[in-house]
């Protein structure tokens, strides 16, 4: 009788604590804001990107049993340029989310390799990106994440901490 009760308790615990298996391929949209100072060259003037807003999309591949998700994302930013200049900025990244396998609220650590450029291909950079995020899983997944870009200066020495852009992203994944 004791083993039967232990077995029933184990089945009940698994039913209550089990993480539901979700689709392995998801698509989403998000907004992004660059919240620290980062400049691009527009002719002979530096254009400050602090506060620049962008829109993007993402693809997420997440095996249902593992706490790892593969994330591909892209953003197009809308920087304010000086009069007479046209400037643009876009990013594309491929990364990994490592999160706690919780059913509703899922905190995670994000790491990625990012390629950043502009429309005329005159200002291109590749950088490592790392940050933290949280995902709220209801009928759809809503996420918020903060990311640091580890951009190298032309000499190959990593830039100082104050020069690293911090990007705040939030969106929805279906």
Q: Which of 162, 7, 4, 18 is nearest to 103 (CA)?
A: 18
**Is pLDDT above 70 for 134?**
yes
Share of the chain above pLDDT 90, in %: 41
Residue 3: pLDDT band (50, 70, 90) is confident
The domain in which residue 59 lies consists of: 20-173
Give the number of other Cβ atoms within 10 Å of residue 18's Cβ: 10
Total domains, the chain: 1
Task: State residue 155's pLDDT score.
Answer: 43
3-state secondary structure 43-54: CCEEEECCCCEE
- The span from the first CA to the last CA of the chain, in angstroms, equals 46
Structure tokens at 17: 């604590």
Please check whether residue 172 is in contact with residue 25, taking contact to mean a CB–CB distance below 8 angstroms. no
Residue 156: pLDDT band (50, 70, 90) is very low
Per-residue model confidence as pLDDT tens digits over 141-154: 999 999 998 875 44
Structure tokens at 94: 């491929």
Residue 22: pLDDT band (50, 70, 90) is low
Interstrand relation of 166-173 and 141-150 (parallel, antiparallel or unpaired): antiparallel
Per-residue model confidence as pLDDT tens digits over 74-119: 999 988 777 666 778 899 999 999 998 888 999 999 999 999 887 7
Please check whether residue 55 is in contact with residue 18, taking contact to mean a CB–CB distance below 8 angstroms. no
> What mean pLDDT is reported for the chain?
81
More confident residue, 63 or 136: 136
Task: State residue 162's pLDDT score.
Answer: 47
Domain at 149, CATH number: 2.40.160.20
State the virtual CA torsion across 116, 157, 113, 21 in degrees, nearest 10. Answer: -130
Please check whether residue 171 is in contact with residue 134, taking contact to mean a CB–CB distance below 8 angstroms. no
**Distance between CA atoms of 70 and 61, rounded to whole angstroms?**
5
**Distance between CA atoms of 107 and 88, rounded to whole angstroms?**
32
Task: State residue 108's pLDDT score.
Answer: 97
**Distance between CA atoms of 76 and 74, rounded to whole angstroms?**
7
More confident residue, 136 or 79: 136
Please check whether residue 34 is in contact with residue 165, taking contact to mean a CB–CB distance below 8 angstroms. yes
Task: State residue 48's pLDDT score.
Answer: 65
Among 38-52, 57-71, 129-143, whose mean pLDDT is lowest?
A: 38-52
Within-domain flag for 10: no
């Amino acid at each position: 009788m004791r083993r039967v009760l232990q077995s029933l308790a184990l089945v009940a615990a698994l039913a209550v604590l089990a993480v539901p298996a979700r689709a392995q391929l998801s698509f989403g949209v998000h907004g992004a804001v660059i919240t620290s100072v980062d400049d691009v060259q527009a002719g002979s003037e530096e254009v400050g990107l602090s506060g620049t807003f962008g829109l993007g999309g993402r693809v997420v591949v997440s095996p249902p049993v593992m706490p790892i998700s593969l994330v591909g994302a892209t953003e197009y930013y809308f920087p304010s340029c000086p009069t007479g200049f046209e400037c643009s900025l876009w990013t594309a990244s491929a990364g990994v989310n490592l999160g706690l396998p919780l059913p509703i609220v899922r905190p995670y650590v994000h790491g990625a390799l990012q390629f950043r450029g502009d429309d005329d291909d005159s200002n291109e950079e590749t950088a490592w990106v790392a940050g933290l995020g949280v995902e709220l899983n209801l009928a759809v997944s809503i996420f918020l994440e903060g990311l640091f870009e580890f951009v190298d200066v032309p000499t190959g020495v990593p830039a100082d901490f104050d020069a690293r852009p911090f990007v705040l992203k939030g969106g929805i994944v279906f």
